[in-house]
């Protein structure tokens, strides 16, 4: 290695050849160092980073990691990962070579982090970032071992109480908003489609097929560094087309007609997440319904569909879940009587095939009201019974409305 003095500027510079991660030879010149030592340190660090030598420090490798992930991760994900690594990983291992960090040191680091009494969810997030960093080093840059593989992971996904509104609670909430206003139409869209908040805020007139009552969800909106950002949805499966009811189509159509020739590619709800959250809290307080998050309106749509007998696969497609297991893990507990439905179906089949008159009591009962399938009860016409059932089976009473991952 060699550094050179720039006599004209009074600074130092380096000029050197290096081998990048593909094995290609390249030349690098960098000027403006105050001292010869700074120039030489830059050259050494640059060569390690370019080749991704596992002698590089974690601080150096984090930059390699994000360089490699720049095309596969969204800006928001990169920011969240960086924030976590900067706060919880680099203060402990920034200057340590990647190939020198041991499982014992990972355990000591975990103990230090756990002492801060973060939530289980956040502990799991921190652990995931550490593990992902070492996995990338092992899988792509031939690090011998991932020290995280040899220790127990900290944190876990906590069992959270899922909150949602019944149809009656939602209607009570909507009495606090002026019909036809932008917030009225937005909350209608959220409740009756199950769209994510960012998806709803990104919708333009071009995304709605008014002739066929279809809503095309193909992007999402968020705010970063004071700028509006429109990007592709959360996952590939989140690109979807869903049917919307006639009344919702008309509400959206009437609302757009009052926006004075809004361009086809302009957002119909030009607001930020914080404004929606503030409006939700304001109306909840005004109407007295139970407090939920904006995202819980999506859960409310799912609960409504399940109450109407809609099966998980249809909900998966409508919600844009990547895998049916996500749907089942999130909402499976809202199907409490499906085992009974299966048993009754088998009973009915046996009766048909055997010609037996020894039918189940609810099949032969003269009162036809007892023959109603519980999944086919009209939600709106039987709301009092449904409210009672939900109350009896509420979280506080340890009932059927289980946990969400």
Residue 209, pLDDT > 80, answer yes
Residue with more model confidence, 134 or 310: 134
Q: Residue 195's pLDDT is what?
A: 94
pLDDT band at 311 (very low <50, low <70, confident <90, very high): confident
pLDDT per residue as tens digits for the range 326-355: 777 777 667 655 566 667 777 887 887 776
Q: Residue 86's pLDDT is what?
A: 96
Per-residue pLDDT, averaged over 109-132, amounts to 94
Residue 102, pLDDT > 80, answer yes
pLDDT band at 227 (very low <50, low <70, confident <90, very high): confident
Q: Residue 112's pLDDT is what?
A: 96
pLDDT band at 274 (very low <50, low <70, confident <90, very high): very high
pLDDT per residue as tens digits for the range 34-58: 999 999 988 887 776 666 678 889 9
Q: Residue 315's pLDDT is what?
A: 85
Residue with more model confidence, 399 or 191: 191
**pTM higher than 0.75, yes or no?**
no
Per-residue pLDDT, averaged over 10-27, amounts to 79
CA–CA separation, 169 vs 163, rounded Å? 12
CA–CA separation, 266 vs 85, rounded Å? 36
* Token pair of 154 as six digits: 């900290």
The DSSP string of 43-100 is HHHHHHHHHT-TTSBHHHHHHHHHHHHTTTS-HHHHHHHHHHIIIIIHHHHTTSBGGG
Beta-bridge partner residues of 27: 17
CA–CA separation, 97 vs 83, rounded Å? 21
Residue 393: DSSP 8-state? T
Residue 225: left (phi > 0), alpha (psi -120 to 50), or beta? left
Q: Are 162 and 404 in contact (CB under 8 A)?
A: yes
Provide the 10 A C-beta neighbour count for residue 27: 8
φ, ψ for residue 192 (rounded to 5)? -90, -5
Q: Residue 124's pLDDT is what?
A: 93
Angle between helices 167-174 and 383-392 (to 10 degrees): 110
Q: Residue 361's pLDDT is what?
A: 47
Residue with more model confidence, 392 or 145: 145
* Token pair of 225 as six digits: 């560094």
Q: Residue 219's pLDDT is what?
A: 92
Residue 304, pLDDT > 50, answer yes
């Amino acid at each position: 290695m060699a550094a050179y003095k720039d006599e004209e500027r009074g600074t130092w510079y380096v000029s050197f050849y290096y081998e990048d991660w593909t094995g290609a030879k390249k030349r690098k010149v960098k000027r403006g160092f105050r001292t010869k030592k700074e120039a030489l340190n830059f050259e050494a660090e640059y060569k390690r980073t370019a080749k991704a030598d596992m002698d590089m420090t974690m601080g150096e490798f984090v930059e390699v990691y994000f360089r490699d992930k720049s095309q596969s991760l969204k800006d928001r994900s990169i920011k969240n990962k960086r924030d976590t690594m900067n706060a919880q990983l680099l203060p402990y291992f920034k200057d340590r070579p990647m190939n020198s960090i041991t499982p014992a040191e990972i355990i000591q680091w975990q103990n230090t982090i756990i002492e801060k009494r973060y939530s289980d969810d956040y502990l799991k997030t921190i652990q995931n970032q550490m593990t992902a960093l070492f996995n990338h080093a092992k899988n792509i840059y031939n690090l011998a071992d991932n020290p995280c593989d040899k220790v127990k992971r900290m944190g876990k996904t906590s069992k959270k109480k899922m909150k949602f509104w019944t149809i009656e609670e939602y209607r009570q909430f909507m009495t606090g908003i002026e019909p036809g206003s932008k917030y009225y139409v937005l909350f209608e869209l959220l409740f009756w489609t199950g769209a994510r908040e960012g998806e709803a805020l990104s919708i333009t007139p071009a995304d709605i097929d008014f002739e066929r009552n279809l809503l095309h969800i193909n992007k999402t909106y968020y705010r970063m560094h004071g700028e509006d950002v429109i990007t592709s949805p959360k996952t590939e499966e989140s690109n979807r087309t869903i049917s919307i009811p006639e009344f919702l189509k008309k509400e959206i159509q009437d609302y757009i007609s009052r926006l004075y020739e809004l361009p086809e590619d302009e957002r119909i709800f030009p607001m930020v997440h914080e404004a929606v959250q503030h409006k939700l809290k304001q109306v909840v307080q005004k109407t007295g319904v139970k407090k939920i998050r904006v995202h819980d309106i999506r859960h409310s749509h799912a609960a409504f569909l399940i109450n109407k007998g809609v099966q998980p696969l249809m909900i998966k497609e409508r919600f844009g879940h990547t895998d049916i297991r996500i749907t089942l893990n999130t909402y499976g507990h809202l199907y409490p009587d499906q085992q009974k439905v299966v048993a009754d179906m088998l009973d009915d089949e046996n009766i048909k095939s055997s010609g037996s008159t020894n039918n189940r009591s609810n099949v032969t009962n003269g009162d036809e009201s007892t023959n109603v399938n519980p999944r086919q009860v009209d939600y709106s016409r039987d709301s009092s019974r449904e409210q009672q059932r939900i109350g009896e089976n509420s979280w506080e009473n340890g009932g059927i409305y289980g946990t969400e991952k």
